[in-house]
Chains A and B, each alone.
Chain A
């Protein structure tokens, strides 16, 4: 019973993280695609609408376009790789106007809680500004910082830290404000 409740809470958090509060996808599940279900097993030619081979799918955005950019220690400047990824994201968002995006800024654990929240804010905003410069309407974009609260890798070495210093563009269905 306890385990089941814990699972529900975790899943609720995942949904909240994907759908993003006020920008949430309402009843539409586009913002909460199950990455496992839309898995890598689909080979060339296995075209399923909404699957990873559908260029207008959330899975395609996450896996092929690339939904995240990484940062150097204590930096919020975009790297050349980050600019490339964001350029592809901007092209995708332009081609798929039915989505809004919540850009999550994150930090690694090397830093105080407060400073990392502010740093995550800077990173998310750097990604947002670049998307806007590439023609994405600012009304479709919103940012949030999780500081060091939601690492994606849990080891305490640079191999993990480098993956945790990130800005992730999370899609939700909707035309924006």
Chain B
């Protein structure tokens, strides 16, 4: 139960903002393109502890900020032992020449205070060293002490967004399936973690199979497939109470592959009746389902467009699995995938411009992206078995499952930039699959 309270504390930690006056944008900028870029060198001296109680946490926060930025592949940290200037006060004058001498193009400074009631106050500023100017306004975050990682992610998000012009994504969580046991008797349970693998919490026991969890748009619920009844059933779990309920068409033999609509009022899923799998739309409030496809082929893996008006899905109506787009009310569908191989698990990007997918071709699996009209297909990965992409809240990064082959094979979570660069394995404590990236936390 203590874990549950920890989730609540993390989700609802107050993060009030105050804004000291600062100058406007300088020229410091990374434009993310397909070309190879040189990571931007930055310096982040350990945040100044404003009282002794803040000493350790100031160190920890600084390391998380540096890790967030470095792990994007877009930034390179200049080690602290190379720093010339020493920052002893948050308000002291920046020694521009000292930072220029070590070629720090961006400088992040900050302070940490632990108040009498245990609350944490984190302040930070971002500077463009070669313009000798602040980049954006200084920020202050206030929260409970156990939310310190979130505050670090908020600082890194602000720095990342100001320098790249992209939306933030570090202060977010990922729900996934934690796996243990041998390949022919895997035990699976739902788990959530911070985007960087920290703070793993388990949400279900492993007494029945669970598959492909997805967050609701506000992160308060998770919809997934559970075998708890003996048969695969779409199930909704409330993150705060861990209460579960089965939803979807009860006449179906099985229901699976659910995903919420962008406003959270509906969900799409697949249901199988007499061997035929089609896509259904669930009204969450009424519990009523409407059938959206009626083909005798397999229709599955549906995903809404960000405006909720359309659904991208997978169908083998042409003879092999391909990607199609239809209205959110059903009706005729347009095929958008025409390359060599089999396409599945399409997921509409939060920006609306791209679909991420799994592609199976010539004995290998790939994660790729294409535009909504099917043009500009780009494969980001290739391996024995990659599948099930999910988008970071800013639409810049996808996370997916990579499974290794053989009797000892096991799945792990990986992420990759949509340029195809910066492939990284997420630090989960054990085997993991079916990640779903939740919303940016408030």
Cβ of A9 and Cβ of B230 under 8 Å apart? no
Cβ of A117 and Cβ of B314 under 8 Å apart? no
B181 contacts which chain A residues (CB < 8 A)?
Answer: 6, 10
Report the minimum CB–CB distance from A139 to chain B (whole Å).
14
B232 contacts which chain A residues (CB < 8 A)?
Answer: 117, 144-145
Cβ of B207 and Cβ of A9 under 8 Å apart? yes
Judged by a CB distance under 8 angstroms, whether B338 is at the interface is no
Pick from A113, A118, A154: contact of B277, CB under 8 Å: A118
* Interface size of B in residues (CB-CB distance below 8 Å): 51
A151 to B256, CA, bound (A): 19
Quick one: closest A residue to B403, CB to CB?
A: A109
A107 to B225, CA, bound (A): 17
Judged by a CB distance under 8 angstroms, whether B187 is at the interface is yes
Would you give the 0/1 interface string for A63-83, flagging 1 where the beta carbon is closer than 8 Å to chain B?
000000000001010000000
Cβ of A21 and Cβ of B405 under 8 Å apart? no
Pick from A13, A119, A128: contact of B185, CB under 8 Å: A13
Report the minimum CB–CB distance from A152 to chain B (whole Å).
6
Number of A-B contacts (CB under 8 A): 129
Would you give the 0/1 interface string for B301-318, flagging 1 where the beta carbon is closer than 8 Å to chain A?
100000000000010100
Quick one: closest B residue to A105, CB to CB?
A: B275
Quick one: closest B residue to A129, CB to CB?
A: B275
Cβ of B275 and Cβ of A122 under 8 Å apart? yes
Judged by a CB distance under 8 angstroms, whether B369 is at the interface is no
Judged by a CB distance under 8 angstroms, whether B257 is at the interface is yes
Would you give the 0/1 interface string for A117-150, flagging 1 where the beta carbon is closer than 8 Å to chain B?
1110110111011000000000000111110011
A149 contacts which chain B residues (CB < 8 A)?
Answer: 186, 209, 211
* Interface size of A in residues (CB-CB distance below 8 Å): 43
Cβ of A145 and Cβ of B272 under 8 Å apart? yes
B360 contacts which chain A residues (CB < 8 A)?
Answer: 110-112
Judged by a CB distance under 8 angstroms, whether B384 is at the interface is yes
A124 to B208, CA, bound (A): 20
Given A112-B358, A122-B298, verify A152-B184 contact (CB < 8 Å). Answer: yes
Cβ of A154 and Cβ of B270 under 8 Å apart? no
Cβ of A125 and Cβ of B407 under 8 Å apart? no
A155 to B230, CA, bound (A): 27
Judged by a CB distance under 8 angstroms, whether B331 is at the interface is no
B229 contacts which chain A residues (CB < 8 A)?
Answer: 21-22
User: 9 nearest interchain CB pairs?
Assistant: A21-B230, A125-B275, A156-B405, A118-B277, A121-B272, A112-B344, A154-B407, A118-B298, A154-B183
Q: Which residues of A contact B (CB under 8 A)?
A: 6, 9-10, 12-14, 16, 20-22, 24, 74, 76, 109-115, 117-119, 121-122, 124-126, 128-129, 142-146, 149-156
